[in-house]
Amino acid sequence: HALEVELHRALEQDQLHLCYQPQYRLSDGVLVGVETLLRWRHPRLGPVSPAEFIPLLEDTGLIHPVGDWVLRTACAQMARWRQEGLTGVDLAVNLSPEQFRHPRLLARIQQILEETGMAEERLELEVTESLLIENPPDVLRNLQVLRGMGITMALDDFGTGYSALSYLQDFPIDVLKLDRSLTDGLERNLARSPGLIRGVIELAQSLGMAVVAEGIESNAQLQFLQSLACERGQGFGLERPRPPEAIPALAGAAP
Ligand code: G
Ligand code: G
Ligand code: MN
Ligand code: NA
C-alpha cells in the first residue's frame, strides 16, 4: 500500500501535527473546550484527511504510538496554554476503538497524564458507538475506571450508524456529541431534523448528559440549538480547527 509507505515516512519526518477546534458554551459564547484533531500534511500530496489515514494507522498498529503522541502532545499543549493564562478550557481527544481495546490503555493514559501534569477533570475522551456495539466486558470496565479517575467520557458521532438507545443505559457516558449530519439536516430543511435534534437533546438532558452539537455552520443552526438549551457547540461557523498558538486569543471572544 503506497499510502502506508508514506505514513511511515510521515512519522519519521514529523509530518503529523495537531489542530484544535474550539468548543463554545452556547448560552454565552464563552470558549469552554477544544477538540484535538490530527493532521497530516504530506510534502507532495498536501493535507491528507484523517478519515483516510486513521484506518491505515489502525491496520498497521501504528495507532498506538501515534495515539500516545496525540494525547501527550495535546496534554503538554494544555500546560503551555495554562502558562499563557488560558484557564477554564477542557481538552477533548479522540480515541479509536482499536486504541480503546489495547490491554494497557489505562496504564498508558495514566502515565501520559502524570508526565504532562494534565488534570483528569479537564480531559474529555471521545469514543464512537462502534466500540460499544462490540460490548466486551473490558470496554465497560475501562469506561468505568476512566470516569472514576475524573475523566469525562463523550460519545462521538451520535446519531449516525445505528444508534441504539440502550447504549446510553448500559455505558457510563457523560457527553453526547450530536453528529454534524443532524445539525446539517436543519440547514437542508429536512422535515424531521428539528424534532430529531430536540428529542436527542431532551433525552440526553433527562439522563443527566451534556450535549455538544457538531458542525454548526450557520446562525440559524446556532439559534435553534440555543433555543433547545444545547450546552456546547463547535463548527466551522463558530471557529475552524486552529493551530495551538491561535487558541488563547479566542478565550473571552463570543462567536
Ligand atoms: O479532522 P476531521 O474532521 O476530518 O476528522 C475526521 C475523523 O478523524 C473524525 O472522525 C475524527 O474523529 C477522526 N480523528 C481526528 N483526529 C483524531 C485523532 O487524533 N485520533 C483518532 N483516533 N481519530 C481522530
Ligand atoms: O468525528 P469527529 O467529530 O471527531 O470529526 C471531527 C471532524 O469534523 C474534523 O475533521 C473537523 O474538521 C470536521 N468539522 C468540524 N466542524 C465542521 C463543520 O462545521 N463542518 C464540516 N463540514 N466539518 C466540520
Ligand atoms: Mn470527535
Ligand atoms: Na463527530
235 CA from centroid of ligand 2 (Å)? 7
Model confidence pLDDT, tens digit, residues 207-249: 999 999 999 999 999 999 999 999 999 999 999 999 999 999 9
Mutate to test the pocket of ligand 2, among 17, 19, 37 (most ligand atoms within 8 A of CB): 37
pLDDT at 166: 82
The model's confidence at residue 169, banded by pLDDT at 50, 70 and 90, is confident
Residues with CB under 5 A from ligand 3 (ion): 94, 126, 156
Percent of the chain with pLDDT over 70: 98
Q: What integer is the mean pLDDT of 7-36?
A: 95
Q: What ipTM was estimated for this complex?
A: 0.96
Nearest CA to ligand 2 atom 12: 241
Q: Is the pLDDT of residue 254 over 60?
A: no
The model's confidence at residue 188, banded by pLDDT at 50, 70 and 90, is confident
Q: Is the pLDDT of residue 123 over 90?
A: yes
Q: Is residue 152 part of a domain?
A: yes
Judge if the beta carbon of residue 54 lies within 6 A of ligand 1.
yes
Q: Is residue 211 part of a domain?
A: yes
Judge if the beta carbon of residue 37 lies within 6 A of ligand 1.
yes
Nearest CA to ligand 1 atom 19: 38
- Give the domain extent around 14: 2-250
Tell me the ligand closest to 235's alpha carbon: 2
Q: Is residue 255 part of a domain?
A: no
Nearest CA to ligand 2 atom 24: 215
Q: Is the pLDDT of residue 129 over 60?
A: yes
Total domains in the chain come to 1
Q: Is residue 140 part of a domain?
A: yes
pLDDT at 252: 66
Average pLDDT value for the chain: 93
Tell me the ligand closest to 71's alpha carbon: 1
37 CA from centroid of ligand 2 (Å)? 9
Q: Is residue 220 part of a domain?
A: yes
93 CA from centroid of ligand 1 (Å)? 9
Please list every protein residue whose CB sits less than 6 Å from any atom of ligand 2.
Answer: 21, 37, 94, 156-157, 180, 214-215, 217, 234-236, 241
Nearest CA to ligand 1 atom 13: 50
- Residue 193 belongs to a domain with what CATH number? 3.20.20.450
pLDDT at 186: 87
Q: Is residue 178 part of a domain?
A: yes
Judge if the beta carbon of residue 97 lies within 6 A of ligand 1.
no
Three-state SS annotation for the chain: CHHHHHHHHHHHCCCEEEEEEEEEECCCCCEEEEEEEEEEEECCCEEECHHHHHHHHHHHCCHHHHHHHHHHHHHHHHHHHHHCCCCCCEEEEECCHHHHCCCCHHHHHHHHHHHHCCCHHHEEEEEEHHHHHHCCHHHHHHHHHHHHCCCEEEEEEECECCCCCHHHHHCCCCEEEECHHHHHHHHCCCCCHHHHHHHHHHHHHHCCCEEEECCCCCHHHHHHHHHCCCCEECECCCECCECHHHCHHHCCCCC
Q: Is the pLDDT of residue 253 over 70?
A: no
Atom in ligand 2 nearest the alpha carbon of residue 19: 12
The model's confidence at residue 1, banded by pLDDT at 50, 70 and 90, is confident
